[in-house]
Homo-oligomer: A and B are copies of this chain.
Amino acid sequence: MSTSYHSDAAAPSSMIADINVEATAPDPRLVADLVAANHILFDQNVVDAFGHVSVRHDKRPDRFLLARSMAPALVTAADIVEFDLDGNPLTAGGRPVYLERFIHGEIYRARTDVAAIVHSHSHAVIPFGVVNAHHLRAIFHMSAFIGTETPIFEIRDHAGDGSDLLIRNGPLGAALAQRLGARPVVLMRGHGVTVAAPDLRQAVFRAVYVDVNARLQVQAIGLGAVNYLTDAEGRAAAAANATQIGRAWDMWKMRVEGKL
């Protein structure tokens, strides 16, 4: 166990100074979508007061956008902060930032194919991170992106016993990214789940459907041996569904805008 994983016991949300580098204004539509993503994830019960969603900066791949530390339901455009991949804020202006911003920075660093990340404690998924008898895997076509297996990040392997289970620094974020590997989902034992995707709408879609999949799995496992999607089915169905994202996003966005 490397002691480099043990940061000073900082507050889970940190008031730290912005680094002194020039920020880059992102496309306002991307910011608006990120705000909507926060609201959708809350409306869909994926996040509660906790959990966060980020998107890679559209103009600089070495930056990402993430709300300041607050409940997702309350996020507005003014709350979106620019970060570098080390998790340093550029535009927080002294407002607290999420302790676990390292989840986002390190995955963006490790995965050039990823442009959006959701970290949640969605309830149906957590049981799959704390048992060995059954593994989270795609049970129906809508969650085919999960594939046939999902890695579990065990923080004890990196921070020993006695951690607070939080990804509170770069080394832990890098360890999580390594465990995620090339996959879209990594479970975090005793904590939650992190979902990665090529764009924001797919990240939100995946965060919703990984939770649905988990709920269906629990029910099915209670009935007996389960006939899951094969690898080949998973790949084919995931490709087909990737073109469906807009239908869900548009409806979810109308709901949070009070138009439905």
Contact = CB atoms under 8 A, between A and B. Distances in A.
A195 interface: no
B224 A11 contact: no
Q: Which of A123, A133, A221, A251 has the most CB of B within 10 A?
A: A251
A243 interface: yes
Contact of A250 (B50, B71, B166): B71
Interface size class of A (residues with CB under 8 A): 35 or more
Contacts of A2: none
Contacts of A176: none
Given A49-B251, A139-B130, A228 B190 contact: yes
A71 B205 CA distance: 14
Interface stretch (A23-31, A55-63, A103-111, A157-165): A157-165
B130 A220 contact: yes
Interface string A203-241: 000000000100110111111111111101101110111
A250 B236 CA distance: 41
Given A240-B12, A244-B13, A251 B73 contact: yes
Given A49-B247, A222-B222, A140 B161 contact: no
A243 B144 CA distance: 38
A162 B225 contact: no
A223 B131 contact: yes
27 contacts: A11-B243, A13-B244, A49-B252, A50-B142, A74-B250, A74-B251, A99-B240, A123-B212, A123-B215, A123-B216, A124-B219, A126-B139, A127-B222, A127-B226, A131-B224, A131-B226, A133-B223, A134-B224, A139-B190, A144-B164, A162-B230, A164-B233, A164-B240, A164-B241, A165-B233, A166-B237, A189-B227
Interface of A: 9, 11-13, 48-50, 69-71, 73-74, 99, 121, 123-124, 126-128, 130-134, 139-142, 144, 161-166, 189-192, 212, 215-216, 218-230, 232-233, 235-237, 239-241, 243-244, 247-248, 250-252, 254, 260
Top 8 A-B pairs ranked by shortest CB distance?
Answer: A133-B224, A162-B232, A127-B220, A71-B251, A49-B248, A164-B236, A164-B240, A141-B165
